[in-house]
Copies of this chain bind each other. A is one copy, B any other.
Amino acid sequence: MVGNMDQLARTPNDIGHALRAARKQQRLSQQALATRSGVWQETISKIENGSPGTRMETIFDLCAALNLEIQITERSQGSTDFLEDTL
């Protein structure tokens, strides 16, 4: 394990983990986050537990409230995966 390369999100679970980690790091309850994000506590619970299909904007709201940012970048050519673009 080289480092903290775990902000990568490719599934609803990844999102949930990232959000929960950030919230806990800031010692916010789901309810406190709900208040400052406008997303309901019940919804936050589901998202943190990886419920699928969450709307982008809900994630944006939570990220904003948690001082998180979302970046979209080219996938860095990984180690063992050998998938080639036959462009």
Minimum CB–CB distance from A77 to chain B (whole Å) comes to 9
A73 contacts which chain B residues (CB < 8 A)?
A: 7, 68-69, 71
Q: Is A64 an interface residue (CB 8 A)?
A: yes
A76 contacts which chain B residues (CB < 8 A)?
A: 69
A selection of 29 A-B contacts at a CB cut-off of 8 Å is: A7-B73, A8-B69, A8-B70, A8-B71, A9-B70, A9-B71, A9-B72, A10-B69, A11-B60, A12-B56, A14-B72, A15-B56, A26-B87, A53-B55, A53-B57, A55-B55, A55-B56, A56-B56, A56-B59, A63-B72, A67-B85, A68-B72, A68-B74, A68-B75, A69-B72, A69-B74, A69-B75, A70-B71, A71-B72
